[in-house]
Amino acid sequence: AEHQHVRYNPLRDDWVLVSAHRVKRPWQGQLEKPPPEDVPRWDPKNPLCPGATRASGEVNPNYEGTFVFPNDFPALQPDAPEPDDSDHPLFQAAPARGVCKVMCFHPWSDLTLPLMSLPEIRAVIDAWAKLATELGASYPWVQIFENKGAMMGCSNPHPHCQVWASSFLPNEACLEDRTQRQHLSQHGVPMLLEYAEQEACRKERLVVENADWLVVVPYWATWPYQTLLLPRHHVCRLQDLSDSEKDSLASIMQRLLIKYDNLFEVSFPYSMGWHGAPTGPYLEEDCRHWQLHAHYYPPLLRSATVRKFMVGYEMLAQAQRDLTPEQAAERLRSLPEVHYK
């Protein structure tokens, strides 16, 4: 807790520098603006609201639950042409095709996941699983992710996430596939199943838990209050969860996200995403080395206005964090599970 050291991340096969004493240094850098508290519940000019007109000219239905539609500005398209052949190994390109969807969690713009009811969160999980199944029938990778808050690049306060399906395995997927495959081969047990069992026993990085899930600040965390959401039992993909596991997932997500908001009494910004076994052609392959999990990467460090910057040493050498994962977990663990609002 007092002396710098490096920790190994077996999931990414890299290291992070832990320098807990640095959080004591005075801060005269950038201060972020807290998120707005006066978001209107419905705004006809907001393209994610029920009945609003989007940039494509499409009019949203007057939806009352979740709502999924094609991204009007997709990063991936299903009919993109192949790039020209490379004339040198240092200048390689490959085909990239896919689809991008947007999913609204709720019709109200002023409601975030921690403020939603358990049935409403469960509906989000069901929609995630449905999309993972539908898109995963043909695409090798389906990335479900949520950018929450302007600090994490979210351009619209309405509660929503994105789902991108790609014709290729992205870098992080390839990396986690390799490391988890190696661990199963060498140790005979999926890496993150073994890791969840270890963290459940040690408890020093545990934030919340229930019968099916646990949330920890991982031993190798990079972001200050980064967490890892893990099943207690072996499950490869989101769509493989039972009804009871989805119910308990809704509960533990709500508990975690309430703690996040309570930390600095602000709508807590983060980027999160699900990682599970590849799909499409991989559905016919042995993917037992995979364990479903969700990453939460929040940027805030000291307060609602002071964030952690990944610059300089982090960009040019390796990741570095300013408090230990154990300190972060203890602080999150001690927070109430009743929302400050």
Helix (H) / strand (E) containing 214:
strand 213-216
Check the annotation: does 72 bind a ligand.
yes
- Alpha carbons 124 and 118: distance in angstroms, whole number: 10
- Alpha carbons 1 and 18: distance in angstroms, whole number: 9
Phi, psi of 208, deg, nearest 5: -145, 155
Check the annotation: does 147 bind a ligand.
yes
- For the purposes of burial, counting CB atoms within 10 Å of the CB of 45, is it exposed (0-12), middle (13-18) or buried (19 or more)? exposed
The tally of CA atoms less than 13 A away on the side-chain side of residue 1 is 6
Out of 160, 233, 234, 289, which one is annotated catalytic?
160
Check the annotation: does 64 bind a ligand.
no
The tally of CA atoms less than 13 A away on the side-chain side of residue 159 is 20
Check the annotation: does 313 bind a ligand.
yes
- CB-CB contact of 148 with 160 (8 Å): no
* Cross-sheet strand order for the sheet of 14-18: 5-9, 14-18, 319-321
Check the annotation: does 55 bind a ligand.
yes
Check the annotation: does 284 bind a ligand.
no
Check the annotation: does 122 bind a ligand.
no
Check the annotation: does 205 bind a ligand.
no
Check the annotation: does 23 bind a ligand.
yes
Check the annotation: does 126 bind a ligand.
no
Helices (H), the chain: 118-136, 171-187, 191-202, 243-264, 313-316, 325-333
Check the annotation: does 67 bind a ligand.
no
Check the annotation: does 289 bind a ligand.
no
Check the annotation: does 54 bind a ligand.
no
Give whole-number Cα distances, 94 to 79, 82, 83, 145, 275, in Å.
14, 7, 6, 24, 23
Check the annotation: does 71 bind a ligand.
yes
Check the annotation: does 276 bind a ligand.
no
- Alpha carbons 32 and 34: distance in angstroms, whole number: 6
Check the annotation: does 5 bind a ligand.
no
Point out which residues pair with 228 in neighbouring strands.
Answer: 216, 295
Is residue 106 part of the annotated active site? The answer reads no
- Alpha carbons 185 and 248: distance in angstroms, whole number: 31
Torsion sign (Cα): 87, 92, 97, 103: negative
- Alpha carbons 272 and 249: distance in angstroms, whole number: 15
**Both tokens of residue 132?**
């993972």
- Total residues belonging to the chain: 341
Check the annotation: does 62 bind a ligand.
no
Residue in 139, 66, 71 with CA at minimum distance from that of residue 101: 71
Annotated binding site for UDP-alpha-D-glucose: 22-25, 55, 71-72, 147, 153-155, 162, 308-309, 313-314, 320
So which residues are the catalytic ones? 160
Binding residues for Fe cation, as ranges, are 176, 275, 293, 295
